[in-house]
Structure 1
């Protein structure tokens, strides 16, 4: 990934926040057939691993073996940025369009877990996390489903763990602009339905 120094993200709390808030990752692997990408919800397991699961019919667990290098790409909120939004535009017009975004690249080694306990844990933890996020008064629990049906569904998946070897993150959030342009850009983005992106911009500038 092209990564100018002023866009390097090193704040681990921000990186973890991006993984947690935008969990649908693109999982990229190099196989004998070439590059393969799957889009999967992942979650952190401590600071050094990710966990998830795939359908049994997904060839990923047959295309690569345990210990294979993989890349999980998490992408946060993004937006086009118009030069018209810069406060200094009327002064010199020396501006061009750009795009604001955040991404996290997690490199690691994958291992597949086919036993019942691992599959149950992978689904259970992910479900509990996201049921809590949506804030239902009565969150769905795995025990809500008939036992036989749940066992049947679990038999159709393969759990996996990615032991992290390297993390590279990028926050391109107008932090290289003049303060007036930075502030005006955040204000316009907020007014156009990108409050989350504007909030992350302002948090970076604190």
Structure 2
């Protein structure tokens, strides 16, 4: 992913936020042929750093060709919104503001026990807010292990990390405020999120002047 210097981020907390809130992301590989699968990711942290985990169907092409040590690319798209040139106080081009993370890494296939724990954590994350959570513990181990037969679990250990935070950093204060105001008027959740991020950036910039 090409990221102009002005939009590059080294913020690990931002990376964690994007992955946590946008865990349904792309698993991309090029073994035998280019392939991509939308799958559910979790991030694990340790003293040595972090790694990603996900699973796909065993019927998936990627499950048939991926093996230990292969390289994959994981693509996470965070909040994003169209930025209209009509919002500026001068002639310019329209663009798109967004936050994204791409992680290239080497894979290690999960053992059955790792896959079971992965499914337990994943289910807990998304079931916990439900009125009547259906956790792995409620399903019974025998049932879960039977369902696991159709799943292909992998861990991904990062070799490259790219974080993009494109929030109109190339605009002056007046036009930044105009963009923020226009984004809020869209009443679109992602646009409002981008507006909030831009406002935060603007306040930090003012403090550092």
When the two structures are superposed, what TM-score results if normalisation uses the length of structure 2? Answer: 0.87
Q: Name the structure 1 match of 2:165.
A: 171
Q: Which residue of 2 aligns with 1:180?
A: 174
Q: Supply the RMSD in Å over aligned alpha carbons.
A: 1.6
Q: 1:26-51: per-residue Cα shift (whole Å, max 9, x none)?
A: 1111112x211111110111142001
Matched, 1:204 2:189: no
Q: Report how many aligned residue pairs link the two structures.
A: 197
Check the 8 A contact 1:114/1:158 in 2, yes or no.
Answer: no
Alignment of 1:6-155 (within 5 A): 6-32=6-32, 34-46=33-45, 47-86=49-88, 89=89, 93-115=90-112, 117-132=113-128, 135-155=129-149
Counterpart in the other structure of 1:2: 2
Q: For structure 2, which runs of at least 5 residues remain unmatched after alignment?
A: 205-209
- Retained in 1: the 8 A contact 2:52–2:155? yes
Q: Is the 8 A contact 2:57 2:152 kept in 1?
A: yes
Give the Å deviation of 1:3: 1.5
**What TM-score, normalized to structure 1?**
0.89
Measured against aligned partners, the alpha-carbon deviations of 1:145-193 in whole angstroms (never above 9, x if no partner) come to: 2544322211211211001111011111111101111122122112212
Structure 1: gaps of 5 or more residues: none
Describe the SS at the equivalent of 2:30: strand
**Conserved in 2, the CA contact under 8 Å of 1:61 and 1:112?**
no
